[in-house]
Structure 1
Amino acid sequence: MDANQTLFSSVTLLHEVPSLGFEVYNVCVNHPMKIISDGIWTQHGSALPTQYSYTMLELQILIIFVDLRSKFCFSDRVSDGAISSDRTIGKVQEDAVPVRESRHPKHTIIVGVLLLPVPELSADGPKLDHENREKGLGDRALLLWHSHSGGVWEHGRILGEDISALPVVFISHSSCSFAVISWLLNDLGILNSELGRLALSAAFVNDVAGIGAAYFGRQNMSMSIRIRNVTAFLAYAIFILLIGRPAMRWIVKRTPEGRSVNKGYIYAIIVVFLGLGYFAKFFGEPFLVGAVIFGLAVPEGPPLGSALVTQLELFSKWFLCSIFVTCVTMKVDLTKCNSLSFVIVISGVIIMVHLVRWLLCMGICRYCKIPFKDGFCLALILSCKGVVDICSYLLVYDAMVQKRTVVDVMIVSVLVLGTASRFGVKALYDPSRKYAGYQHRNIMSLKHSELRIVACIHKPWHSVHIKNVLEFCSPAPDNTLVAEILHLMELVGRSNPIFIAHKLQQSAASSSYNYSGELIVAFDLFERDYLGAVTANTYTAISPVMFMNEDVCNLALDKNAALIVLPFHVKWGGDGSVESEDSNIRALNARILERAPCSVGILVNRGPSFNSRRIRAAMVFLGGPDDREALCLAKRFVKDVDNSLVVFRLLAHDKDTSNWDHMIDDEAMREISGVHVNLENVRYEEITIGDASQTTFLIKDIANKFDFIVVGRRYGVRSSQTYGLEHWTEYSELGVIGDLLASHDTDTTASVLVVQQQPSHEDHR
């Protein structure tokens, strides 16, 4: 035989037999599989890849990722998750790819799972803006459930040896993993919604208490060993928190602002992390415990937390972790179970556990006056299982605590629960429904003089332009202004979002990092400058870019704001050229325009801040709800006699005076042309427009004559004044007139505020 064609090699032996000569024996010797391939250019170029272990590993990884990406492209559209894709691909490849039977399917691949807690569970990671209702929900659910599971534990031991797995099944399915819940909420896009924050709070309380319950609930351990292990564990945790955390804070202090952490420090932290995980076994804890505690000690956010995420997330989360889950699922084989009734009993216990969990969770939500649908969605979220649960099941199996069949059933349950949670929550929970315009929250509907504005800031230079808009509102004791200033920061290096109300903090020392320090000082000074007329509250929201609109809309809804002011995504230089563009800010503005619970204004700034107290402003009025909302804001501006306003009404040559919307526009203009025109600082002009070219010429003519220009968005509204210009619009979020003023062809240094009136209930999706 040819050794390159088979796993066997042939040896020829000659044996001399008296009077018969020699006898020839062919003996086949079984050789181990070769590691490295000889290559296709050698004399054995026809050898199969399956004859070499390293080539076989590469082939398996390739098949896993081709199948995984193919399914994930489909499953992502139907709200299934990446981990569900991994588990499904594992079952598909169970027979297609050869797998050697082993009790240890993880080995080096499990490092991917163990690296996850470092960037995910960063220091102060559970520092949510907990409300009493969220804490109470987590505590009550935990106490009720563990009292229930404790009774079943005793019952399981009475039933006999055949179902001795019941205690482990009950405990494992009665808890939930904070990392898994965070991953699920991020996949569903509701990480910083009200339900998402509630689920994170309850999951964290349950997760932390579950660790202690599992530790003290161990059997076959004497009290002396238990006390020794607890003492060692506390010493281990204190060492990490008192030595490791200060050391990492020292690294952060040595890193200049805006610079990345030295790679040497990153590598040293990873080595220390692996070493601490190894020493965890000396007091009876698995490697994962060391990873979690060390992750809690890592300072959150940039520069260190974000650097660890950058270094580890791609390799550990999307490479090693995917292979780990797939390989574990490939080994699941329920056909090897000798007793079908045993599988049915374990499955029935899992179903019963989750039914009881749902009833308890929904009952507590009902007691806390949470809607039934939201309570059911919360129960589904807290029932979700993922990669952390798979890892724990594998550790239980390796420790010879459970039979193979029990572990197989629990891994299958992870697939079922993870998929059901995603589909259920996606179908039942719509976070945008609370923003629907059932109530009028706009400037036109204000029944008092106080105006509430939510102003968003991304970059330091945005604060100057936001203050210009607030000054445009002419705050005075009889024309008060409440400004909710929201500093939006991207969530990097931690797993849960943060929302900080800075006036509720006792002092700057109450936070491990003084977020938005310069912003707080700037608007405190602005409030003092307009003492008695302005109330400025500052907030910091740290969340993923895709979900920042939830923070903005929630704040506007809670504060009953009439207007949200958003900075434009383009920054112009001093010479009028575009200095930078931020596509994330543009996408955020589009999402807020679609779902805002009140009116929205996008601030386009192409020049410096106002250099004098006397501001020249213009308002371009074509008609429609957006223009009427912009007009109401402009009328507040002229309450300061030092400011001047010119209202340009562009009338169509073929106007329909019987149109109801046109009649409402005439009524809105009557006050301007009547009462306000008698004021020295107000001027009104009517201009008849024949076609869109005249509109373009007029806009470019007035663009450089004013410091501030207010227009309505009028998106989707077609009229003869702008007919045809819609096809040339570069920035659809600004509408036709706003796009003309922000165009590169328009030479202006004026600030432009594009206003959209609160969308109606029918406009919300």
Structure 2
Amino acid sequence: MLSIVKNIPQGQEAKEVHVVAIQLGVLVMAFISDALGTAPYAGVVLLGLAIPGGPPLGAAVVHKTEYLVSQLPMPMFFFYVGDDHYHVLIDEQAFTQIVLSMLGMTMIATPLLRFSYSPKIRLGASTKRPRFRSIQSMPSNFETFRILCCFHNQESIRNLITLLEASYPTQASPICTYVVHAVELMGRAAPLLVPHNKLKRTNTPTHQMIQAFENYSDNSEGQVTIHAYDMIAPYKSMHNTIIRLAEDKVVPLIILPFHDHQGMVDLTLIASIRQFNINVQTNSPCTVGILVDRDLSSRLRLTSSSFNVAVIFIGGADDREVLAYAARISGNPTVGMTVFRIILRGKLGGGNQEEEIEAKLDQSLVDEFKLGNIGNDCVNWYDIEVDDGAQVMSAIKKLQGDYDLVMVGRRHVEMSLRDEEMAVFMEHPELGVIGDMLSSLDFCDGMVNVLVMQESRGLGCGAFRSDSARVS
């Protein structure tokens, strides 16, 4: 086993011949064990213990054989062990007791673990430093802007770097970025999250992707610090690791790449990655942004004259986070920004108490943004009045332009713009009603990049919850 692992180039998977050799080794070990007078499976267990867990060998064996073994040989093993014609160290009564006990333990332990373990129950917050939950909650005297970026492959790196540069790192307000390369856990007993520099590998694909962030940090005009991590975990629980890291590092913003088409990642992983994004949205204690890259060739590229950002502000907690982030980006002299505020005429006269509070919070942030950009020729502001949700959608569709990035909140209090009301018409619920439309072919021919942001707290006024999005 050590010889096989040694001959596999770092960063590459085990070859097919290695997996076949191990499968043949199972038969050989079973034959040797039986010839020595012990149970045939004793040697097989020893062979399994000799296989190093995780990539490159253990993961390859699990990936190529797990489904077949669990669906065919394992049921046949239990069937033949229980057959009177198969002589074994147990009788029919003992076999029945073993099977029933395994079934009972599974039926009892699984729901107990599911209901007793909650990722939301974590260690108490430290009193030595502030715990920021959103971009808006950051005090003005807080110098470092922390961002956590998660990526699955190299195609997402360029756009993440461009977004970091657009966030305007300066000496007075530097950016500290925690970049995490997420890899699906296979052939390993426990999840793993380690700083990348502790792995001491220089020729792996992961190192090359991390090196792209390091090169950006070295060449950035502003001050950017990169802290890189490698994360190996199952997709169903991967969000727990990201959330704990965000809490530990006091991160107000998590950026996740969006995948829904061929060419970015393996088609079999798209549903898992989308569900991972939804899990982060649902459980995150801070703001989550999903970056939709619709053109891999040249669109999202920061230059002195061609990077244009559009911001759509309708109102609500999520849109306020968008505007707070836009306020930071607007200070970048190489970024042109256009803000479209959609105003519903029916809401101008006020509403219930919760709606009035939301409206006051919206107006307060709008006034702060305008005041901070007085004299900024790179920022344009337009107010668009509409009567209902249908006119909102129509007005946004008409905002065709040469935009490199469009920013919008995921959730909105307006009844006709809620996920529950529009779920039937949405292809990607995790992007929300507006975000789903902006990322479709109906807007700028599907060639615009979109950043959909969601604040951690739930919305008032009976708005839908973040866990309303599910991947079937």
TM-score by length of 2: 0.80
Deviations 1:373-429 (A, max 9, x none): xxxxxxxxxxxxxxxxxxxxx98x37xxxx999898777655554544334323322
Where does 1:406-485 land on structure 2 (aligned, <5 Å)?
Answer: 414=102, 416-434=104-122, 440-447=132-139, 448-485=142-179
Who is 2:284 aligned against?
A: 596
CA pair 424-677 structure 1, distance change in 2 beyond 3 A: same
| Alignment check: 8 A CA contact 1:437 1:758 kept | no
Find the aligned partners of 1:662 and 1:618 in 2 and give their Cα distance: 22
Conserved? CA contact 2:5–2:56, under 8 Å = no
Contact preservation (8 Å) 2:150, 2:179: yes
The alignment covers a number of residue pairs equal to 443
Q: Find the aligned partners of 1:531 and 1:294 in 2 and give their Cα distance.
A: 55
Q: Equivalences for 1:212-227 in 2 at 5 Å?
A: none
Contact 1:630 1:710 in 2 (8 A): yes
1:170-209 pair list within 5 angstroms: none
Q: Greater CA radius of gyration, 1 or 2? A: 1
Q: Structure 1 residue 298 and structure 2 residue 51: aligned?
A: yes
Checking the alignment, whether the CA contact within 8 Å between 1:456 and 1:486 is kept in structure 2 is: yes
**Structure 1 pair 721/702, CA: closer, same or farther in 2 (3 Å)?**
farther
User: Which residue of the partner structure matches residue 18 of structure 1?
Assistant: none
Structure with higher helix content: 1
Q: Indicate yes or no: 2:382 matched with 1:685.
A: yes
User: Given the alignment, which residue of 246, 251, 254 partners 2:3?
Assistant: 246
Note closer, same or farther for the CA distance 1:698–1:717 as it changes in structure 2 (3 Å cut). Answer: closer
The answer as to whether partners of 1:703 and 1:741 remain within 8 angstroms in 2 is: no
Equivalent residue for 1:320, pick from 73, 87, 100 = 73
Q: List per-residue Cα deviations over 1:38-58 (Å, max 9, x = no partner).
A: xxxxxxxxxxxxxxxxxxxxx
Q: CA offset at residue 455 of structure 1?
A: 1.0
What do the CA deviations read for 1:540-565 (whole angstroms, capped 9, x no partner)? 22222322222222222222211111
- Give per-residue Cα distances to partners, 1:522-577, cap 9 Å, x unaligned: 1111221238721111122222232222222222222221111111123489xxxx
**1:550 paired to 2:246:** no
3-state SS, counterpart of residue 247 of structure 2: helix
How does 1:510-589 map onto structure 2 within 5 Å? 514=204, 516-530=206-220, 533-571=223-261, 582-589=270-277
2:359 matched to 1:662?
Answer: yes
Relative to structure 2, which stretch is displaced further, 423-432 or 454-463?
423-432
- Higher RCO structure, 1 or 2 (CA under 8 Å, sep 6+): 2
Q: Secondary structure at the match of 1:642?
A: coil
Structure 1 residue runs of 5 or longer lacking an equivalent are 1-243, 332-393, 574-578
Q: State whether residues 281 and 466 of structure 2, in contact with CA within 8 Å, keep that contact through their aligned partners in structure 1.
A: no
Aligned to 1:707: 404
Change (3 A) 1:328 1:737: same
- Secondary structure of the residue aligned to 2:237 is helix
Query: Which of the residues 296, 301, 304 maps onto 1:613?
Result: 304
Per-residue CA deviations over 1:282-313 (Å, capped at 9, x if unaligned) read 99976555434433443555665444335532
- Candidates 427, 433, 452, aligned match of 1:754: 452
TM-aligned CA distance change 1:613 to 1:276, over 3 Å: farther
CA distance, structure 1, for counterparts of residue 316 and residue 428 of structure 2: 20
The 8 Å contact of residues 165 and 220 in structure 2, kept in 1 or not, is answered as no
1:330 CA displacement: 8.1
**TM-score, length-normalised on structure 1?**
0.51
2:66 maps to amino acid: E
Cα displacement (A) at 1:462: 0.5
Distance in 1 (CA, whole Å) between partners of 2:69 and 2:418 is: 57
Change (3 A) 1:497 1:282: farther
What is the rounded CA distance, in whole Å, between the counterparts of 2:273 and 2:105 in structure 1?
36
SS at structure 1 position matched to 2:230: strand
The answer to whether the Cα contact below 8 Å between 1:691 and 1:723 also exists between their aligned partners in 2 is no
Deviation of the 1:494 alpha carbon: 3.7
Q: Any conservation in 2 of the 1:437–1:597 contact (CA below 8 Å)?
A: no
Deviation at 1:744? 1.2
Q: Secondary structure at the match of 2:236?
A: helix
Partner SS, residue 508 of structure 1: coil
One-letter amino acid matched to 1:669: V
CA gap 1:741/1:280 in 2 versus in 1, 3 angstroms: same
Q: Let me know the Cα RMSD of the aligned residues.
A: 4.0
Other structure's SS at 1:452 match: strand
- Secondary structure at the residue paired with 1:669? helix
Amino acid at match of 2:2: R
Q: 1:624 to 1:719 in 2, by over 3 A?
A: farther
Structure 2, unaligned runs of 5 or more: 351-355, 468-472
Change (3 A) 1:310 1:443: closer
Which stretch of structure 1 is more off in the superposition, 673-682 or 634-643? 673-682
Structure 1, 729-738 or 311-320: larger mean CA deviation? 311-320
Post-superposition shift, 1:444?
Answer: 0.8
